[in-house]
Amino acid sequence: MSQFKALLVSAEGEAFVSRVVERDTAELPAGDVLIRVQYSSLNYKDALSASGNRGVTRNYPHTPGIDAAGVVAESAVGEFAVGDEVIVTGYDLGMNTSGGYGQYIRVPASWVIKRPAGLSLRESMLLGTAGLTAALCIDKLEQAGLTPAAGQVLVTGATGGVGSIAVALLTRLGYSVAASTGKAEQGEFLRQLGAQQIVPRSDLQDGADKAMLKERWGGAVDTVGGDILFNVVKSLRYGASVACCGLTAGIGFKASVMPFILRGVNLLGVDSVELPLVVKASMWDKLSVQWKLGNLDSLAEEVTLEQLPKAIEQILAGKLVGRVLVNLG
Ligand code: NDP
């Protein structure tokens, strides 16, 4: 048994309150591998968990954190030895299993990936679930035929975690990127990541009543959902695809079959959570070598557990820019 520091979210009446507390590894769920967490990160889903969203986390008190990178402290399985550096993202981590906002997690071995040689633990969490998801979106688009010759690729919610990494990765892979944002003042940030065109979010909000829009995009990574997503579908070029991964603009949209049957476009769903571990591992390998980003620090802010609640408020308000790395010390 050992004591460790963790962010604990408790239900107090109608409110959900986050505090940094001492916990004990004996309180962690049963599992194959005990990991001393060094870094975690902030994703939108963590903010939902920290603010009492019962679709993400059913029971409180709870320690969120869907991402964790650290060192194996105890292992009941042959694949992992004490001292191995490992990454865990998704599955139930941080949802109903005590997550990466604690200095220790205990999880099934089937959730754990060895750190790829080309990424440090810190770099892996600068990317985190956001980076993994951005990579999965681009991989799926390429599997559907996207190449730089297809034309400009749109990224919505571009200043967010998934969006900013998608802009940087697409640029790294030779695509011309149009970045859509609601934050007019962040044009320079997006240009530094490689965006060649900035598209105001409002440009994508009109047209929900139209069956089709002018062909514009050779492909798209959509992190926001809602009517914006379907407006993007309606403005894809003939045969192009959009990868859909997020819901910050809403979970529903008004749709018709027209773009699909007139332009042969594709709407591709992306999930980073329940994806088989072998696929996650292959994507981490890609992110560590062929798709490695050199500018990760430029898109992240580093916080301690004590500073995390403020960042959680910002991400919930849609005000965060780039990524938040959580250093657990
Ligand atoms: P962030 O909050 O970092 O980014 C979301 C971005 O969406 C914001 O920065 C903002 O960008 C834009 N946005 C915010 N509010 C609105 C709004 N009302 N209407 C339109 N755009 C809005 O979140 P993440 O990058 O962590 O996650 C993005 C989305 O992807 C979330 O919905 C998350 O749940 C989902 N996700 C899904 C995964 C999967 O496996 N499918 C994995 C990871 C995330 P801007 O101001 O630049 O427009």
CB 203 within 8 A of CB 231: no
Tell me which residue has tokens 């070029």: 237
When pLDDT is cut at 50, 70 and 90, the band that residue 42 belongs to is very high
Question: Which of 66, 248, 312 for mutating ligand 1's site (highest number of atoms within 8 Å of CB)?
Answer: 248
For the chain, list the domains and their CATH numbers.
Answer: 3-115+301-327 (3.90.180.10), 128-269 (3.40.50.720)
How many angstroms separate the CA atoms of 70 and 329, rounded?
A: 11
Residue 89 Cα to ligand 1 midpoint, Å, equals 18
C-alpha dihedral sign at 48, 52, 56, 60: positive
- Centroid of ligand 1 to alpha carbon of 180 (angstroms): 12
Judged against a pLDDT cut of 80, whether residue 1 lies above it is answered with no
Distance from the first to the final alpha carbon of the chain: 19
For 304, other C-beta atoms within 10 Å of its C-beta total 12
Distance separating alpha carbons of residues 261 and 280, to the nearest angstrom = 33
ipTM topping 0.85: yes
Atom 30 in ligand 1: residue holding the nearest Cα: 246
161 torsion bin: left (phi>0), alpha (psi -120 to 50), beta (else): alpha
Question: 255 CA distance to ligand 1 centroid (A)?
Answer: 21
Distance 74 CA to ligand 1 centre (A): 35
Distance from the alpha carbon of residue 248 to the mean position of ligand 1, in angstroms: 5
One-letter amino acid at 171 equals T
Shortest CA distance to 86 belongs to which of 96, 74, 98, 97? 74
Which residue in the block uniquely carries the two structure tokens 């892979």? 173
Q: Which residue CA neighbors atom 1 of ligand 1 most closely?
A: 160
Q: Which atom of ligand 1 is nearest to the CA of 323?
A: 3
Placement of tokens 């500073």 in the chain? 307
Span 66-110, pLDDT tens digits: 999 999 999 999 999 999 999 999 999 999 999 999 999 999 999
Question: Which residue of 125, 132, 177, 224 sits with most ligand 1 atoms within 8 Å of its CB, as the best mutation to test the pocket?
Answer: 224
Q: Ligand 1 centre from 56 Cα, in Å? A: 16
Write down the pLDDT at residue 207.
86
Q: Whose CA is nearest to atom 12 of ligand 1?
A: 157
pLDDT digits over 190-242, tens only?
Answer: 999 999 999 999 999 988 889 999 999 999 999 999 999 999 999 999 999 99
Q: On the CB side of 273, how many CA atoms lie within 13 Å of its CA?
A: 14
| 3-class DSSP assignment, residue 177 | strand
CA distance 9 to 309: 10
- Per-residue pLDDT tens for 277-329? 999 999 999 999 999 999 899 999 999 999 999 999 999 998 999 999 999 99
**Residues 308, 323, 70: CA angle, nearest 5 degrees:** 70
CA 301 – CA 294 distance, rounded (Å): 16
Q: Closest Cα to atom 46, ligand 1: which residue?
A: 182
Q: What percent of the chain stands above pLDDT 90? A: 97
Q: Report residues whose beta carbon is within 6 angstroms of any ligand 1 atom.
A: 43-45, 129-130, 133, 157-163, 181-183, 201, 223-224, 245-249, 270-273, 315, 318, 320
At 158 the pLDDT is 98
Going from the Cα of 325 to the center of ligand 1, the distance in angstroms, rounded, reads 17
